Structure 1
Amino acid sequence: MSSRILFLSLCISGCVGSIAPAAAQSAEAVKPGPLIAGAYAQGGFIIAHSPRVKHLVTAHPTGFELNLQRQLNGSAPWHAWYRYPKVGMALVYYDYHNSILGKSYAASIYLNKTFWRTERQQLSFRLGPGIGYFPNRFDLETNHKNTFVSSALNATIQARAEYDVALTPKVAMLLGVAFNHYSNGATAKPNLGINIPTLIVGLNYHQQRNAVPLPLVPGADVPAELGKNFLNVSTSVAFKQRNESDTKLYAVNSVSVIGGRRVNRKSNLLVGLEGFYDRSLIAEQRDTVPAGRSLQDVKKAGIIFGHELLFGRLAFDTHLGFYLYNPYKSNKFYYERIGLKYHFTERLFGAMDLKVHRGAADALEWKIGVKL
């Protein structure tokens, strides 16, 4: 569906845009960091996190991955703030050895942060979002047992610990432990999502091992916004399906007024007010409220507290909200949100946020806003 395609394109453009050098450190062209190419085999198991999916956990999925990553070189100040991570793109294939689930294909982008390094060894952690394609999705008539996946396109999050040890000056063996999650953010139902822990073994080819990054320009480690307050005003739209039998997509809108402060090089702290209008709740009441009784107001308002982890123009958002106005109590009194925000200009930003109620996805929000 177009909503999920936009989610992928915004995610990739945001991350790639933030990865690009913010400014050259001198009049001379900055040499890009060295590349690392990898090919890995994977094997794991599916977590049966609900009684509704136990019938699908019948085999161990196996897969294969190709990826390409580049060592950041210090051409932007945030490279040094995070001790020069790598950035990469990966293509991942899984065979679930189950005719109901079939196979999946995914593309993701990620940051890879090294925590321990010697001349021959590296221990690192990798995290990144992407999109997955599932040909065998839920269908009420032809594939009603697939309660894991109800849409062809799904968001994915991959987290991984990696150990890289040199076999030659250029070639290394990689061992890893990973966690993979696939979900469509409740835009279609059922949306129980797949969680796959995996073991990984493969080879890396290093263009240049342990490259030396550029030195940080004096003063570049102090952002101009440090210690300053700002105001974000934004609006969002999301589309969600009520249940498996009602395939109509209902619009969900929100408005936010959020104040923030840059507290250090990597972080903003946030507090603000939000309002929500979820049209699926009107349809829900029409199915359940006795005839002649008036429907409750489905509008909601809340206060949120949040944090932004900053990577140049890109930010990783985490929010915790509490409803202050909630006449139709269709959910708990609080909600969580995680997302990615990208500043197209100094003032204009876009975001993709997953709003969650107690671990269950509520809506995938597309947001546009201005910073004042």
Structure 2
Amino acid sequence: MWNEKKKSESKLSFKLVKKLVIIYCSFFLISNTFGQEIKRFGLDSGYGFIISHSQALKPLSQSNPIGVSLHYQRMNLSQKSWNACNCFHYLGLQLSYHNFQNPEVLGYAVSITGTFEPILWQKKSRTFSMVTGLGPSFLSKVYDEANNPDNIFFSTPISFLLFLSPKLEYTLKDNLGLHLAFAYNHISNGGQSQPNKGMNYPMLGLGLSHFFIKSPFPVYGKESISQDWTFYLETGLSTREGEEGRAPNFSVALALKKPLSNINGIGAGIEINKDYSLEVEKNRWEALMPAPFISHHFLFGKFDFNQRMAWYTNKPDNYHDFRFYQRYVLSYLLTRHLTLGVGLKAHGHVAEHMDLRFGWSF
């Protein structure tokens, strides 16, 4: 019975990996048809370690993940594309394989991520950029109460990979580049199922890029950015697993932000969290959690990646030992006032959940 189950899981894993490879290759071949849109194709390797962010995870964090990834990217050199970011930037799709080198408990992850890579600095043959990526990840080994109780990193075979990676690239030839990158990777299911400690694993990587089309960058002037304080209202929506199944979780934030330069800003505000999945003793008001916060903003034209540090003024007694939490939000300005984005809430190194976020600036 156990062998049949293992064979079934292996077949399912192989079929899913095969589909992901076919999707990736199809995307590449279709894009190749339109030569004017293709820019470069990359191959990367990586080696890292697992961060042990709780005592229970120390025995599981002794292995060193290794990985390989294929990366297709294109850059639009138009004025319109420049204005969206106030910089030249790549958009791409990455297929990655990360082996955690603990096959019986942790297995491996196969992920497809959409990527955004703004160019932060360039001089002659050297380029410094920052790659961010988000997408679904298939995990070969997850928590199982009977068969894999030690893996408290992951509890669902489909989770999400989020990474941030500064990258230094050196052009060897007109169509070939060598790059060194440091990636901070995080995989979790966004709080959709427990246990969900989530895995944080930095990796140092070396890779090659082949340029199919490489044109000189045109010169555009940067749009002037107002350095006035901006007031905005933002709400986040998601669901979390509770004692009685999935329950709504939402937050409302009132905040101010002020750009300090073309790419940096600061802010502050208050966020009110309401989580219906939490147990309460008397009434639901116990699960109302106001939290003032301060924030830093990376500003790239219409993109805003902000990191918030918040402090609970009130929370249920059985809800985390931490008084502080972080929220990471990536948003895009759809219209003059409306923003759409995604957020990740975490307590220290432990991710709690992801949500969809809408904002309105005044």
> Structure 2 length as normaliser, TM-score?
0.75
Is residue 341 from structure 1 mapped to residue 341 from structure 2 by the alignment? no
Distance of 1:47 and 1:216 partners within structure 2: 42
> Would the aligned equivalents of 2:85 and 2:302 in 1 still touch at CA under 8 Å?
no
Distance of 2:250 and 2:343 partners within structure 1: 13
Q: Which amino acid aligns with 1:266?
A: I
Is residue 73 from structure 1 mapped to residue 77 from structure 2 by the alignment? yes
Q: Which amino acid aligns with 1:300?
A: M
- Which 5+ residue runs of structure 2 have no aligned equivalent? 1-34
- How much has 1:232 moved relative to structure 2? 2.3
Q: How does 1:303-314 map to 2 (within 5 A)?
A: 303-314=292-303
Higher helix share goes to which structure? Answer: 2
> Would the aligned equivalents of 2:111 and 2:136 in 1 still touch at CA under 8 Å?
yes
Identify if the C-alpha distance between structure 1 residues 272 and 207 changes in structure 2 by more than 3 Å, giving closer, same or farther. Answer: same
- How much has 1:66 moved relative to structure 2? 0.7
> Would the aligned equivalents of 2:189 and 2:353 in 1 still touch at CA under 8 Å?
no
Aligned residues: 324
Q: How does 1:50-69 map to 2 (within 5 A)?
A: 50-57=54-61, 59-69=63-73
Residue 16 of structure 1: aligned partner: none
> Would the aligned equivalents of 2:228 and 2:258 in 1 still touch at CA under 8 Å?
yes
- How much has 1:260 moved relative to structure 2? 3.8
Is residue 139 from structure 1 mapped to residue 136 from structure 2 by the alignment? no
> Would the aligned equivalents of 1:336 and 1:358 in 2 still touch at CA under 8 Å?
yes
> Which one of 314, 339, 350 corresponds to residue 360 of structure 1?
350
Classify the secondary structure of the residue corresponding to 2:57.
Answer: helix
> Which one of 264, 270, 276 corresponds to residue 279 of structure 1?
276
Is residue 92 from structure 1 mapped to residue 81 from structure 2 by the alignment? no
Q: Which amino acid aligns with 1:367?
A: R
Distance of 1:61 and 1:135 partners within structure 2: 14
- How much has 1:62 moved relative to structure 2? 3.1
Classify the secondary structure of the residue corresponding to 2:40.
Answer: strand
Distance of 2:181 and 2:99 partners within structure 1: 19
1:171-200 Cα shifts (integer Å, max 9, x gaps) = 344444433221223332222222333343
Residue 15 of structure 1: aligned partner: none
Identify if the C-alpha distance between structure 1 residues 307 and 40 changes in structure 2 by more than 3 Å, giving closer, same or farther. Answer: closer
- How much has 1:41 moved relative to structure 2? 3.1
Aligned-pair RMSD on alpha carbons? 3.4
> Would the aligned equivalents of 2:143 and 2:154 in 1 still touch at CA under 8 Å?
yes
Distance of 2:129 and 2:269 partners within structure 1: 36
Distance of 2:277 and 2:359 partners within structure 1: 24
Q: Which amino acid aligns with 2:246?
A: L
Classify the secondary structure of the residue corresponding to 1:73.
Answer: coil
Distance of 2:68 and 2:325 partners within structure 1: 36
Higher relative contact order (CA 8 A, sep 6+): 1
- Which 5+ residue runs of structure 1 have no aligned equivalent? 1-30, 287-292
1:345-367 Cα shifts (integer Å, max 9, x gaps) = 22322222122334433332322
Q: Which amino acid aligns with 1:50?
A: S
- How much has 1:277 moved relative to structure 2? 1.6
- How much has 1:113 moved relative to structure 2? 3.2
Is residue 270 from structure 1 mapped to residue 267 from structure 2 by the alignment? yes
Identify if the C-alpha distance between structure 1 residues 112 and 310 changes in structure 2 by more than 3 Å, giving closer, same or farther. Answer: closer
> Would the aligned equivalents of 1:43 and 1:62 in 2 still touch at CA under 8 Å?
yes
Classify the secondary structure of the residue corresponding to 1:280.
Answer: coil
